Structure 1
Amino acid sequence: MPLLEANGLSVTFGGLKALADVDLRIDTGELLAVIGPNGAGKSTLLNALTGLYKPSAGRVAFDGKDITGMRPDIIVRGGVGRIFQNGKLFRRLSVVENVMLGAAIAPAPAGSFASRRHAEAAWRDAALQMLERFGLASLATRSIDSLSYGNRRLVEMAKVLAGRPRLLLLDEPAAGLNLGEVEALMTRLRQLRADHDLTILLIEHNMSMVMRLAERIVVLNFGQKLAEGTPAEIQRDPRVLEAYLGTGYEHVEVQPD
């Protein structure tokens, strides 16, 4: 059974159909990439899956449960984490305090905390452990504004993963990163999948990253699904070359590196 499945998903703004009858399936443990030109409907799709937009038609199910139109906070607490394209960190809080907000979302056994103070101590411990995994423990007390752009992206990922999601949605995580940071991000994503048993939906314009990480790719164009297949299939699909990749696109090695 798919971990997440959308059937006939549509989102309309007035007379504009931003998403039109899209079917999507993400299997447990899979890394699925969604690509397409700017304005193709990629972020709209994520917003519809996570409750930020109410679909005008269609159904979304997570782990077999209908979540169509549910509030975003309920969907997040149910096991769906999301990294936004423009970042969603609280600038007035320290690094560890930001990650603690994610840890507070993680499910805990009933009665596991004797008091609010004990709960906050547990959230801080979980946040510090996650920062350690990301190599950011030394920055725990720093302000968000004092961090490099690359480290802010890592803190946001640490915050979301502190909530122990089963499905992680990434909206252009490589945007603004240099080549070395992109390579480090790919290594980290591979490790996170192995360590946390994560299923990942990746939206990204960096085609080298997409072709090297994804097991399956969905291509959107003008709010509709244009193509779906393995990285090798997508790279030679004439519809995708015409609409997005371009006829001069150089194929990327898709074997695991």
Structure 2
Amino acid sequence: METGVLSGQVAVITGASGGLGAHFARVLAKAGASVALTARRLDMVEAVAGEIAGAGGRAMALKLDVADAQAIGPAFDEIEAGLGPISILVNNAGVGGEGLALDLTVEDWDRTFDVNVRGVFFSAQQAAKRMIASGVAEAGAARIVNIASIASHTVLPGLSAYCASKASVAMLTKSLAREWARRGIAVNAICPGYIETDINSDWFKTEGGLKQMKGFPRRRLMGAEDLDASLLMLCGPATRAITGTVITIDDGQSLPGGG
């Protein structure tokens, strides 16, 4: 495993069982960070952690459902006991929240917000408390990166709950950045466009999904690797003067006018 700009850092990635979360864990580990992968599916994060360790990295896997706010603190305590003080949190866990507004149930809405908003807030809160207590924040090394979406600022039909949740993440990012600015914690967000993940892979194989893709300015999906440079910037020393920033990386998908 390569060492680099994040050597000596400890990163927590939520929702790391596959897709973007697993990709982010590999990227951060390659940059030298020790990584803790968390998700509801323990077997899957164990597999990715084993892959990283096999390549010479330092990794651990934990079962964590961020919708259970009471479970977050103990999980982070376990991570710090195993890897050291947390300096990076990538709030990646999320659910799709599909459903037309007239059909959404209270349970549908609550599930989306429990993971996409409440889980992000309490993960950030628990990480920040530990970053302050350990001295990581005072040293200027504390980084929180929330994974939002172009849905935070672009209407995606049939995804009202998801769009509302991701708009909440974008504003929450700014609010936490402002509140913790003098604490030394940088809080930023990435808004990815459509990337083939577990959440949407079935859709983009359908006639409707293919039609949607043809409506993108470049008529393609992005690759997860297109987020790497921004992720590494926001997790590393280059973010010394960056906080409260929401970066859209979407291959032009949210530009008006269609394809």
Q: TM-score range by the shorter chain?
A: 0.3 to 0.5
Higher relative contact order (CA 8 A, sep 6+): 1
Per residue, is there more helix in 1 or in 2? Answer: 2
Which TM-score applies when normalising by structure 1?
A: 0.34
Based on CA coordinates, which of the two structures has the bigger radius of gyration? 1
